[in-house]
Amino acid sequence: MRFITCRLPDGVEDPAILSEDGRQVWPLSWLGLSYETLSDAIPFLTPQVRAGLSLAVAGIPALPIEAVTPESPIPAPAQDVICLGINYMAHSDEAEKYSADAFATQHQDAIYFSKRVTRAVPDGGAIEAHTDLVKKLDYECELAVVLGKDAKDVPTGQTQDYVFGYTILNDVSARDVQTAHKQWYFGKSLDGFTPIGPCIVTADEFADYPPKLGLRSFVNGEKRQDSNTMLQIFDIDHVIAELSQGMTLKAGTIIATGTPAGVGMGMDPPQFLVPGDVVRCEIDGIGSLTNPVR
């Protein structure tokens, strides 16, 4: 099942079910589920509830996608997004080549950082270039995990039931700000730096856990990244188990699982984003997330 957040014709923002072809939506409020945000709804959207919703939507007229304004599925995350850094070996190589001082690692432990998201950018929304502050603007196509229930002290091998679903996240990065501060929070967290979407696809739509999904990015139609999540150094099971030891991961938590090789700083010479560029991120089974740079 696919979930989005959208603005209805009356201006109200409502979580909704998206049809598989992306052409129709059923607001949850129409189905008797009155939740202000999708984050609020997620803990209650259990497999049993979703099975009932599947039956319900079959008998209820839908809105055409053109009648609503799609937003990011979780427009305002309750907490910072948790991110993994240097989680694909080929990306590790290109990052270290760009700046060994900033990115060198022995891969003995996962690298975690957080990303402030005041308002997530939806599919079609603009990435803010912040040209007064940023000279080296970059993109990172990533699979993002959304937790469906609170996770605390979850053992490795038992994390699957805590995953609600998956979406696409573009971890937009100001490389000059990121490397200048010797940590990544500021250079990752400027307004407009977190496109998320176009929807959350529930975990039961994927055969494998962790899922093995092709992911790609394009800048102005030119393919830049082309990899598969099976190449992650630290997989989703490891990450959820490790982070939940001694720290509660709340339902609705978003974890961005890292980006593969092909980012702008890894090119020779580096090619950074400028206003007017268009970035498209794709992940198999989820869709595409397209954002112009403004």
Determine the average pLDDT of the residues in 167-177.
97
Q: Which helix (H) or strand (E) holds 176?
A: helix 175-180
What's the pLDDT band for 121 if we cut at 50, 70, 90? very high
Residue-wise pLDDT for 2-21, tens only, equals: 999 999 999 999 999 999 99
| Same domain assignment for residues 64 and 167 | no
Task: Report the DSSP beta bridge partners of residue 170.
Answer: 141
For 91, 133, 143, 200, 205, the CA distances from 284, given in Å and listed in that order, are: 20, 34, 10, 13, 11
* Count of structural domains within the chain: 2
Q: What is the mean pLDDT of residues 214-240?
A: 97
Say if residue 31 is in the same domain as residue 86: no
- pLDDT bin (cut points 50, 70, 90) of residue 103 is confident
- Residue 59 corresponds to which tokens in the numbers above? 């008998």
Domain containing residue 168: CATH number? 3.90.850.10
173 located within any domain: yes
Are 15 and 131 found together in one domain?
Answer: no
Confidence of residue 102 (pLDDT cuts 50, 70, 90): low
130 and 52 part of one domain? no
Structural domain containing residue 36: 2-71
Instruction: Tell me: do 102 and 202 sit in the same domain.
Output: yes
35-72: burial string, b at 16+ Cβ within 10 Å, e else: bebbbebbbebeeeeeeebeeebeeeebbebeebebbb
Q: Does 95 share its domain with 226?
A: yes
- The pLDDT-based confidence of 99 (bands split at 50, 70, 90) is low
Residue identified by tokens 């009932």 is 52
Q: What is the pLDDT of residue 91?
A: 74
Evaluate whether residue 289 is within a structural domain. Answer: yes
The secondary structure of residue 266, as a DSSP letter, is: G
Residue 14 is assigned to a structural domain of this protein:
yes
3-state secondary structure 185-224: HHHHCCCCCCEEEEEEEEHHHCCCCCCCCEEEEEECCEEE
Judge if 192 and 221 occupy the same domain.
yes
Q: Are residues 103 and 32 in the same domain?
A: no
